[in-house]
Structure 1
């Protein structure tokens, strides 16, 4: 049995969860209880099950499972990293063809196949001029201004919640922040991470979800203010069944792929201690922590039974982003959690961006191999095991 949940559970990755239940949905796609018995199941893809001795065992397409109890309130959550669908600033030449309608088409079926899908919008959704920010170093100054109607592509691809806690959410001043919030909210996409919207509460699969986002940048909810972060998460934990936290922090680029467990600095800015912060919010009541900001992928870990992804890289960033090497690969991380937010199982889908950008399924699974490598290096004692097909599960007890 899973030590984390006290249940033995069958998770069929290809079909167990489908996005038939969206925000505020009243549709319940929970599987029916299974009698206590041994059953044989045929599946279209490999299935992982628990076996005796508190271990996990891959049996293959034909599986036999002694069912003790099926978790009735399993929730599926997908998280991805940075998204920027093109910018009209400083020139409309940085906008994609067909108004970006094809940018997410290769991965939309994956993104839709969860109860909740999360991303970080790295820029501003605004049609008006706004107030472009001034930069101390013009060579490092990139401003991202996406036309408002592009946001419909996020909705159509399955996104339910978006972080606006990052260093580009304020590229066009308070007008830009206000516009981004209004545009996404009108589409039914929950947002958080700004001073005016520090957190949000929404519903998925008859479950109340709390979401908060943090960053080290002006206008966001500060990742450095531990007291405020703790207070926000404790409030959400007292109100909601599941609490999801995202942070945009850490240094940027290939030299920042490792979780150092120390404060990180980049271009003179304190980018926070992501290891310490992730544990602080979990101690305060968070159930899932999604990190982004370094523009590269980092390790994953489990703390107190709760899942942490330290950085999910550049997911969909059209033009104006460096997509070379590790900057051009990113995961789609799908999680199965129980009603208490405890991790049950996960799956990594590998994507990469070629040319000007836009995620494509990567059959070579470069990011999967990178996450395995980094996790072994940075968290050798983690309770998680990442298998070659992308399944994230508990390590087998020998």
Structure 2
């Protein structure tokens, strides 16, 4: 049995004491066997102390080309990484960690094109999508109705993701797929569902999403969870101060009786990320339960913790 804690987007900068960035969350993080977050933004030897002090074991670097400069810093700090590399094969290689005699493979992809949508990023694992606009069925009756936005995975990216997951599952006990995708708000883009379900069909045990900077639904598909967006965790990007302050920590247990629990977190006025409790926690988790119900997924809330019903 392995316990894994996953967080959303992390950006560490401008802190007098980077090693204390995760201090309010450390009791939750250090109770797990493995800890994962999405690293968004530049890292250096000083800010890397935020991750090492919190015991972060593995990060996704599938965000933008800043990741290339982060890789040697992560290697020096002893933090595993996935989703970026010197070439495309390296970017698609899983980060593999072993605990209690079981191996967990982490794969990471980005659907969000950095730098104005330039097409070629040989060092990032890509899961891009195309966008089309379909006229509303009632547009002839009610002129001006907004079109329907249809998004579809790029076929070659979807095929490679599926192949990566199948290969990782054949060689390791568990596979976690990280996806940088989506738009702010509750509504999911069609391509998110397509990629998330394809990863599960290929053998992933869990899909963890981030990128919208807001919390999105959980969907249990074929008995395994897709966390569409965990929101922000520790996030120091100045443009995000006071915005999109809520996030989730997801605690997952792999084994004969898998479990998934969610704990809400919030960045304070001082931009410190802390666990929520009481009415604040209940309000966030009721929102998670409501949007997850739209994905035919049951989330139970009790005492500041949400339990996701994974089914048989």
Tell me what 1:257 maps to. Answer: 186
Tell me what 1:331 maps to. Answer: 248
How far is the alpha carbon of 1:374 from its aligned partner?
Answer: 4.2
Which of 241, 263, 272 pairs up with 2:173?
A: 241
User: Is the alpha carbon distance of 1:368 and 1:347 closer, same or farther for their aligned partners in structure 2, counting shifts above 3 Å?
Assistant: farther
Matches within 5 A, 1:34-49: none
Which of 15, 21, 43 pairs up with 1:96?
A: 15
Tell me what 1:188 maps to. Answer: 78
Alpha-carbon distance in structure 2 between the residues aligned to 1:381 and 1:181: 36
User: Is the alpha carbon distance of 1:302 and 1:296 closer, same or farther for their aligned partners in structure 2, counting shifts above 3 Å?
Assistant: same
How far is the alpha carbon of 1:384 from its aligned partner?
Answer: 3.0
Tell me what 1:392 maps to. Answer: 307
Alpha-carbon distance in structure 1 between the residues aligned to 2:297 and 2:234: 30
User: Is the alpha carbon distance of 1:214 and 1:338 closer, same or farther for their aligned partners in structure 2, counting shifts above 3 Å?
Assistant: same
Alpha-carbon distance in structure 2 between the residues aligned to 1:378 and 1:330: 15
Unpaired runs of 5+ in structure 1?
1-73, 87-94, 126-146, 263-272
Tell me what 2:91 maps to. Answer: 197
Q: What is the TM-score normalised by the length of structure 1?
A: 0.63
Which of 302, 322, 333 pairs up with 2:240?
A: 322
User: Is the alpha carbon distance of 1:396 and 1:118 closer, same or farther for their aligned partners in structure 2, counting shifts above 3 Å?
Assistant: closer
Alpha-carbon distance in structure 2 between the residues aligned to 1:300 and 1:189: 27
Alpha-carbon distance in structure 2 between the residues aligned to 1:220 and 1:234: 19
Alpha-carbon distance in structure 2 between the residues aligned to 1:358 and 1:304: 37
Alpha-carbon distance in structure 1 between the residues aligned to 2:169 and 2:279: 36
Higher helix share: 2
Alpha-carbon distance in structure 1 between the residues aligned to 2:39 and 2:311: 37
Tell me if structure 1 keeps the 8 A contact 2:263–2:306.
no
How far is the alpha carbon of 1:314 from its aligned partner?
Answer: 1.2
How far is the alpha carbon of 1:383 from its aligned partner?
Answer: 4.4
How far is the alpha carbon of 1:365 from its aligned partner?
Answer: 5.9
RMSD: 2.3
Which of 197, 212, 218 pairs up with 1:279?
A: 197
How far is the alpha carbon of 1:380 from its aligned partner?
Answer: 3.6
Alpha-carbon distance in structure 2 between the residues aligned to 1:76 and 1:101: 24
Q: What is the TM-score normalised by the length of structure 2?
A: 0.79
Tell me what 1:359 maps to. Answer: 273
SS in 1 for 2:240: coil
Tell me what 2:57 maps to. Answer: 160
User: Is the alpha carbon distance of 1:321 and 1:347 closer, same or farther for their aligned partners in structure 2, counting shifts above 3 Å?
Assistant: farther
Unpaired runs of 5+ in structure 2?
114-120, 129-156
SS in 1 for 2:238: coil
How far is the alpha carbon of 1:323 from its aligned partner?
Answer: 4.2
Alpha-carbon distance in structure 1 between the residues aligned to 2:253 and 2:310: 16
How far is the alpha carbon of 1:258 from its aligned partner?
Answer: 2.5
How far is the alpha carbon of 1:395 from its aligned partner?
Answer: 8.3
